[in-house]
Amino acid sequence: MGKKVLIVGGVAGGASAAARLRRLDEEMEIIIFERGEHISYANCGLPYYVSGVIAERDALLVQTPEGMRDRFKIDVRIHSEVTRVLPEEKVIEVQEANGKVYRESYDHLILSPGAAPLRPPIPGIDDIEALIVRNVLDIDRIKQIVDEQKPQTAAVVGGGFIGLEMAENLQARGVNTTIIEMSNQVMAPLDFEMAAILHEHIFNKGINLVLEDGVKSFAKKENTTIITLQSGEEIEADLTIMAIGVKPEIKLAKEAGLAIGDLGGIKVNERLQTSDPNIYAVGDAIEVKNLITGQASLIPLAGPANKQGRIVADIIAGRNSQYKGTQGTAIAKVFDLAAASTGINEKMLSKLEIPYEVSFTHSNSHASYYPGSTRVSVKLIFGKSDGRVLGAQIVGSQGVDKRIDDIAGVIRRQGTIYDLQELELAYAPPFSSAKDPVNMAGYVAENIINGDVRIIHWQELRKLKANDIFIIDVRTEEERKGKFIPGSVHIPIDNLRDRLSELPKDKDIVVYCEIGLRGYLAYRILTQHGFTRVKNLNGGWVTYYPAVFG
Q: Which residues are catalytic?
A: 44
What is the nearest approach in angstroms of ligand FAD to the Cβ of residue 276? 16
Give pairs for 102-105: CB < 8 Å, separation 24+: 104/6, 104/31, 105/4
Q: Cβ closer to ligand FAD: 281 or 390?
A: 281
**What is the DSSP code (8-state) at residue 43?**
G
Measured distance CA(227)–CA(382) in Å, rounded: 42
Nearest 10 degrees: CA dihedral of 443, 445, 446, 452? 100
What is the nearest approach in angstroms of ligand FAD to the Cβ of residue 25? 21
Strand order in the sheet with 215-221: 215-221, 224-229, 234-237
Q: Cβ closer to ligand FAD: 82 or 444?
A: 82
Q: Cβ closer to ligand FAD: 257 or 303?
A: 303
Contacts of residue 129, defined as CB under 8 A and 6 or more positions apart, other chains included, come to 240
Q: Cβ closer to ligand FAD: 33 or 192?
A: 33
Q: If residue 197 lies in a helix (H) or strand (E), which one and from where to where? A: helix 192-204
**What is the DSSP code (8-state) at residue 160?**
S
Q: Cβ closer to ligand FAD: 308 or 416?
A: 308
Q: Cβ closer to ligand FAD: 81 or 446?
A: 81
Point out which residues bind ligand FAD (CB under 6 A). Answer: 8-9, 11-14, 33-36, 43-44, 46-47, 81-82, 112-114, 133-135, 162, 249, 252, 283-285, 300-303, 305
Contacts of residue 307, defined as CB under 8 A and 6 or more positions apart, other chains included, come to 16, 323
Measured distance CA(300)–CA(287) in Å, rounded: 9
Measured distance CA(148)–CA(415) in Å, rounded: 53
What is the nearest approach in angstroms of ligand FAD to the Cβ of residue 187? 12
What is the nearest approach in angstroms of ligand FAD to the Cβ of residue 360? 25
Which residue is closest to ligand FAD by CB?
A: 283
Contacts of residue 352, defined as CB under 8 A and 6 or more positions apart, other chains included, come to 293
Measured distance CA(394)–CA(431) in Å, rounded: 17
